[in-house]
Amino acid sequence: MFPARRRSLLLKILLLVPAVWFCALIYFTATDSGRNDLNMPKPRFVVDPNDPIYRKGDANQAGEKGKAVKVDKSKLTPEEKKKYDDGLTNNAFNQYASDLISIHRMLPDNVDEECKTEVYSRNLPNTSVIVCFHNEAWSVLLRTVHSVLERTPDHLLTEIILVDDFSDMEHTKVALESYMSQFPKVRILRMAKREGLIRARLRGAAIAKGTVLTYLDSHCECMEGWIEPLLDRIYRDPTTVVCPVIDVIDDNTFEYHYSKAYFTNVGGFDWGLQFNWHAIPERDRKNRSRAIDPVRYVRLGKKCMTPLGFGIAGALFQLRNAVSTQCLDSPVGEDAENKAITPYPCHEQGGNQVW
């Protein structure tokens, strides 16, 4: 038997050795993790930092605050003229002008004063933003994505799902994946064949993780505070499908034209099934106390929001006709006549062309 003092010392040693090993284990684990982090592959940037479209915060850059970019084609070199013409041919809008504008460009703060006084719930649901595209121009597509990333509160944005409807242009392949690898919330879904807008959106919805589905075109820009009014409407009534008021981005100059709430129009079809914008019917105007009140509506634009599962499991919309890439939608299913489809004037988002 050891004396009491030696037993006490031996006990201390026995307790100290495991403690030292434990501390060493923590230290080496931490340093190994640090080395692993340093050795992890970084996003493969495919951008030229001197290219004007990647500049951020330059108030003097072309197109900032939604200003028009006017290109004098007569002053362009032969190579630039070809680029100008090719952009128009491929996109039906002035890609040359778009490529002079930052993908982070700021838009004017023209929100209606009434909208600024609106108070939204602190418990808004999150959303998956689904953007379908086919051979979309690089600068336009990136501007769409960045407007969502930079103007949507992080806790409300679950993800952005880019659904590639069988694009074949080079920039939509490796370059796009390389660029988007910087953003953990952006996912790219590739279609195996050309499916069209509706099927592409359904594929995006099938993998979405957010509580609410938000559909956007691949050629639009969202203003600051764009998402809260729409999510608030769904939070208050989960059976509501909310449509935005769509501002106009000029297809030639990319000037942003803001629409005041009292100019809100609704989309509709004539008897020849041609789509056009119409004034709010008088019967609906009488039921509205403010210009920013939602409009009960039965025809969807191509940008809308619906609670996840409501439009999919309930088969809410059935495609009846398609003219000029627009869809005439009819609510179907149990109690469909009570489901509200409402354009909301306090949401602003610009779109520069029809799909």
Instruction: Say what the pLDDT of residue 347 is.
Output: 53
Instruction: Say what the pLDDT of residue 271 is.
Output: 84
Helix spans in 42-130 (H) = 78-91, 95-98, 113-116
For the structural domain made of 114-262, what CATH number should be given? Answer: 3.90.550.10
Band of the pLDDT at 220, cuts 50, 70, 90?
very high
pLDDT digits (tens, 9 = 90+) for 287-315: 888 887 887 754 444 455 555 443 333 33
What does the DSSP assignment read for 257-303?
Answer: E---GGG-EEEEE-TT--EEEEEPPHHHHTT-SSTTS---BS---S-
pLDDT digits (tens, 9 = 90+) for 116-145: 888 999 999 999 999 999 999 999 999 999
pTM above 0.95, yes or no: no
Contact between 344 and 239 under an 8 Å Cβ cutoff? The reply is no
Contact between 281 and 297 under an 8 Å Cβ cutoff? The reply is no
Residue the block writes with tokens 């409501």: 310
- Return the SS3 of 347: strand
Instruction: Say what the pLDDT of residue 267 is.
Output: 76
> What residue ranges of the chain are covered by domains with CATH 3.90.550.10?
114-262
Instruction: Say what the pLDDT of residue 314 is.
Output: 31
Of 231, 237, 194, residue with least CA distance to 212: 231
What is the percent of the chain where pLDDT is above 70? 70
pLDDT digits (tens, 9 = 90+) for 58-97: 999 999 999 999 999 999 999 999 999 999 999 999 999 9
Instruction: Say what the pLDDT of residue 2 is.
Output: 52
Instruction: Say what the pLDDT of residue 312 is.
Output: 36
Least confident of 164-173, 176-185, 206-215, 305-314: 305-314
Region of 232 on the Ramachandran plot (φ > 0 left; ψ -120 to 50 alpha; else beta): alpha
Distance CA 131, CA 141 (A): 9
Band of the pLDDT at 51, cuts 50, 70, 90?
confident
Residue 149: exposed, middle, or buried by beta-carbon count in 10 A (0-12, 13-18, 19+)? middle
Q: How many CB atoms lie within 10 A of CB 263?
A: 11
